[in-house]
Amino acid sequence: MTRVYQKAFFKNKIVPIAEATLNVASSAVLYGLSVCTVFPILIAGGSVAAFRLRDHFQRLVNSAQIIGIDSLEPTWTYEALQQAVRALAQENSVAEMAFVRVGVHADELVPGTRSRGLATTLSMFVYEATPIVPQNGARLKTSVWRRIPDYAIPSRAKVNGAYVNSVLARQDALDCGYDDCIFLDAGGHVCELSAGNIFIVRDGTLITPDAASDVLEGINRRTIFEFACDLSIPLVERRVDLTELYIADEVFTCGTSTFISAVKEIDGRTIGRSLVGPITQRIREKQERVFRGDEPSYLKYLTFLYKRAMDCGQHEEVEAIGLSATRR
């Protein structure tokens, strides 16, 4: 069972997690009309820092815009979100790596199937940073369920209601004794896992499904593009066939919740010659250095919140956070 920290941010204030609840008659509950993003809080150089917080805020804004939730950007700024993240981490005395999930929920009561002009609530909670798949030797199964195409529910938006698709696919994999699934698109091309992007290595080249393959354009995925450039590893984005995975030299997954996980088996077929391939290992080591704050060129992606050893009993007033969250 994943450990959830005791305090949440909800309706512009910090409350006990049990009080961060939505009405059963709200659009978020009735129709899954919420968008979200998840990012890690890291311990870097003795400080507590959020990873690529600005990019995660922008993805939240983009997701809301795509599905027609129009009350987020007029209400929230990046600076207000950063302030709320800092206060939430302090209130929970976060002093180790953890995940933060931010959601924007349409909480209008029984408005019918529409998205514009609805009242919304922003929520945040913190939970332990436990990977959802084994890090060294994940076993994957091609899903019997196809990935929802962008023309049905947009893949570029992290829509809570769309995760029913991921639940169906991953549960099928778990029922069959695997760790996670591999989604195919309507044309039979590889997309991603239930909650992570996928990369393969063939003849020294890093290959990943392109953005037109119904994938979430993951922030960690983009970070790996930068790692590959730094490490002089050739990178190609294109359509990927399932059988290419079977004969790949290496396969790994990436995402906030999957970390960088080496894959050892797909559909009963052994992948590569070692449990963790050399390119997977190089990219993983690069990410570990970045997360520790040991890569100067990547410090731009760390939003430092507070010193790890600070007295977490001294916090900003919660009411002040709520006031600063809106543009005047």
Report the CATH number at residue 176: 3.20.10.10
User: Is residue 144 located within the same domain as residue 192?
Assistant: yes
Express each pLDDT in 115-167 by its tens digit: 999 999 999 999 999 999 999 999 999 999 999 999 999 999 999 999 999 99
pLDDT score, position 309: 61
Residue 311 has pLDDT above 50, yes or no: no
Q: Show the domain range for 157.
A: 136-292
Average of per-residue pLDDT values in the chain:
93
Q: Are 301 and 289 in contact (CB under 8 A)?
A: no
pLDDT score, position 74: 86
Question: What phi and psi, each to the nearest 5 degrees, are found at residue 304?
Answer: -75, 125
Question: Reduced to 3 states, what is the DSSP secondary structure of residue 269?
Answer: strand
User: Is residue 161 located within the same domain as residue 121?
Assistant: no
pTM, rounded to two decimals: 0.92
pLDDT score, position 180: 98
Pick left, alpha or beta for residue 152 (phi over 0 → left; psi -120 to 50 → alpha; otherwise beta): alpha
- The burial of 204, by beta-carbon neighbours within 10 Å (0-12 exposed, 13-18 middle, 19 or more buried), is given as exposed
Share above pLDDT 90 across residues of the chain, in percent, rounded to a whole number: 91
Tell the residue number behind the tokens 């760790």, with chain if given: 179
Q: Are 77 and 53 in contact (CB under 8 A)?
A: no
User: Is residue 48 located within the same domain as residue 77?
Assistant: yes
pLDDT score, position 1: 84
Q: Are 306 and 92 in contact (CB under 8 A)?
A: no
Distance CA 118, CA 33 (A): 10
Residue 213 has pLDDT above 90, yes or no: yes
User: Is residue 110 located within the same domain as residue 233?
Assistant: no
Residue 314 has pLDDT above 70, yes or no: no
Average pLDDT over residues 237-246: 98
User: Domain total for the chain?
Assistant: 2
User: Is residue 282 located within the same domain as residue 309?
Assistant: no
User: Is residue 98 located within the same domain as residue 165?
Assistant: no
User: Is residue 114 located within the same domain as residue 142?
Assistant: no
Question: What phi and psi, each to the nearest 5 degrees, are found at residue 318?
Answer: -60, -40
pLDDT score, position 327: 32
Angle of CA points 8, 2, 254, to nearest 5° = 100
Question: How many other CB atoms sit within 10 Å of the CB of residue 270?
Answer: 9
Average pLDDT over residues 208-236: 97
What do you get for the CA distance between the two ends of the chain, in Å?
42
Distance CA 263, CA 240 (A): 16
- pLDDT level of residue 324 (50, 70, 90 thresholds): very low
Write the CATH number for 80: 3.30.470.10
Express each pLDDT in 272-295 by its tens digit: 988 899 999 999 999 999 999 999
Residue 323 has pLDDT above 80, yes or no: no
Question: How many other CB atoms sit within 10 Å of the CB of residue 93?
Answer: 14
Express each pLDDT in 62-119 by its tens digit: 999 999 999 998 899 999 999 999 999 999 999 999 999 999 999 999 999 999 999 9
User: Is residue 287 located within the same domain as residue 319?
Assistant: no
pLDDT score, position 263: 98
User: Is residue 100 located within the same domain as residue 211?
Assistant: no
User: Is residue 62 located within the same domain as residue 194?
Assistant: no
**Per-residue 3-state assignment (H helix, E strand, C coil) for 233-258:** CCEEEECCEHHHHHCCCEEEEEECCC
